[in-house]
Chain A
């Protein structure tokens, strides 16, 4: 069964810290992997998309890495800000260009001012 696991489930850090969110997946034959942000009661905001052939993607203070062989991805957030507080979801696509996403349960991040 293809599963996506995110650790930790919740994380609280002081403002300014660098932090890492972890995502692991059971089947390494992925098509791509996406990181999303979800604010309470809201939809999803796509942060980074990593294709299976890529090792990492960067956008501003965010960096996502992908290691297919070990079934892991990390989302690195530099110099965290209170506005980064949200739930971060990792999702894996196994089905190709028309494939659905399998989501982890998310990491709820709280950045304290």
Chain B
């Protein structure tokens, strides 16, 4: 079955450390997205990509970086510059246009 896979499910980061969250899809979707979800808030867009080798900053891109070298993959790196990284991170993909998203199961990142 087609879907979108995020790993790991749980991730712990020490102060000053960079960590990378994985996102892979086999839906043949062109567009991919990274969102951050905090309690009581709507999903906030970090980065999105509409095509391979191209990506755009979302509303809260500071302290994050991404790459899109393959259509299937859109990894997110949370750098040490992100001062409040503890959150639930969601990756999504969609066909280009006015279509709903398919989400992964999320990665919960905690700073220790």
Partners in one complex: no
Write the residues of chain B forming the contact surface with A, with a CB cutoff of 8 angstroms.
Answer: none
Write the residues of chain A forming the contact surface with B, with a CB cutoff of 8 angstroms.
Answer: none
